[in-house]
Structure 1
Amino acid sequence: MDVSSLSNQQVLTMPRTRPPYPQKFRDQIVELARNGRTPSDLAEEFEPTATTTSGWLNQADRDEGKSAEGLSSDEREELRELRKKLRELKQERDILAKATAWFAREKGDVPPKSSGS
């Protein structure tokens, strides 16, 4: 099958990113880099780029307390969870505000919204 015969829909449904590398693989690459291999050497032998490998090294240093630059993985995970909880609480607040307004109108405590404004 030749690429020119593919429809636009088939081309657009291909994944744009690859799944994340498993943690065990990342740990092995970091270990190799710490044992003297350069990120560019590792990029030639394995799939991740030198930039990706350098990022993993920097993150490992933060996680182990060797660097104070940026968030550790635990802090990053906590921040992700807190942001998720904040989104949920904002949704709940909005739902409660709408329900309160609806009940107030039903009870007659608030005049109905006019459509002529």
Structure 2
Amino acid sequence: MGWKDVLVPRPYPREFRDDVVRVARNRDDGVTIEQIATDFGVHPMTLTKWMRQADIDDGTKPGKSTSDSAELHELRRRNRLLEQENEVLRRAAAYLSQANLPGKGSTRS
């Protein structure tokens, strides 16, 4: 178990979130979000956020969908990797250009 396992809570499974949102949307009159959240062991604000995101994903409210967020996250990750690769190549090119200068470690006369 690493430090992340201790400090960062694991996300709830997608199916669980979907089920809790479905129950909250279909709740009887007089049943509060707080009651449903408590029954499922989540914080009421967490359930409120899940419901808001579900509305966005369903297209009933404007905002960034879950799939858009995942794609953006993946693109940012790939961009960081490419930037790191470019930096390595830039440094390698600078090193090699210095190594090939006459008088700088060259054995030619």
Same fold (TM over 0.5): yes
Map of 2:9 onto structure 1? 18
**37-46 or 92-101: bigger deviation:** 37-46
Question: SS at the partner of 2:24?
Answer: helix
1:52 and 2:46 aligned: yes
1:93 and 2:62 aligned: no
Counterparts of 1:1-117 in structure 2, within 5 Å, are 15-36=6-27, 37-68=31-62, 70-108=63-101
TM-score for the superposition, normalised by structure 1: 0.75
% identity of equivalent residues: 35
Deviation at 1:14, TM superposition (A): 7.7
Runs of at least 4 residues off by over 6 Å: none
Paired residues, number:
99
Task: Extract unaligned runs of 5+ from structure 2.
Answer: 105-109
Counterpart residue type for residue 25 of structure 2: R
Question: SS at the partner of 1:48?
Answer: coil
RMSD, matched Cα? 2.3
Distance between the aligned counterparts of 2:5 and 2:86, measured in 1?
Answer: 38
Distance between the aligned counterparts of 1:103 and 1:31, measured in 2?
Answer: 61
Distance between the aligned counterparts of 1:65 and 1:81, measured in 2?
Answer: 22
Asked whether the equivalents of residues 26 and 56 of structure 1 are also in contact (C-alpha less than 8 Å), the reply is: yes
Task: Extract unaligned runs of 5+ from structure 1.
Answer: 1-11, 112-117
Distance between the aligned counterparts of 1:60 and 1:26, measured in 2?
Answer: 9
Structure ranking higher on relative contact order (CA contacts 8 Å, 6+ apart): 2
